[in-house]
Structure 1
Amino acid sequence: MAKKKSKPELSGISAISPAEAYEAAYFARKCGLTRDEALKIMREAQRSAEATASFSVKRQN
C-alpha cells in the first residue's frame, strides 16, 4: 500500500487555524490584499503585541 502524500503548504507560511484563515481572508478582501499578505500583517501585529506585553510585565517588576 502506498503512503499518502502530505499536502504541500500553499504559501510557505506555517500552519494556521481555521479561525485565523477566515480572519485573514476577510481582512484581505476588505483591504485589497492577498490572503498571505493579510496573514503576514496579522502575525507581525501579534508578535508586536506580545513583545509589548512582555516588556510591560518586566517593567512592573
Structure 2
Amino acid sequence: MAKKKSKPEPSGISAVSAAEAYEATYFARKCGLTRDEALKIMREAQGWASTTTSSGGERKS
C-alpha cells in the first residue's frame, strides 16, 4: 500500500490560524491585496511591533 502524499499548502505562508486567515481575508478585500500579501504585511507588522516594544527599561523624559 502506498503512502498518501501530503497536500501542498495553497499559499506560501505556513500555519495560519482561523482568526488570522479571517483577518487577512478582510484586510486583503478592503485594501485590494491578495490574501498572501495581507498575511505577509500582518506578520511583518507583528515582528516590527515586538522588536520595538521589547526595549525593556524606562523611558527618560
State the percentage of identical aligned residues.
78
SS across alignment from 2:4: coil
The TM-score with structure 2 as length reference comes to: 0.82
Q: 1:12 and 2:12 equivalent?
A: yes
Larger relative contact order (Cα-Cα within 8 Å, sequence gap ≥ 6): 2
Which has more helix, going by share of residues? 1
- What is the aligned residue count? 58
Give the number of the structure whose alpha-carbon radius of gyration is greater. 2
C-alpha RMSD over aligned residues: 1.2
Q: Any stretches of 5+ residues in structure 1 without a counterpart?
A: none
Output the CA distance in 1 between the equivalents of 2:8 and 2:31.
27
Per-residue CA deviations over 1:3-57 (Å, capped at 9, x if unaligned) read 23212112221211011001000000000000000000000100011001112x1
Q: Any stretches of 5+ residues in structure 2 without a counterpart?
A: none
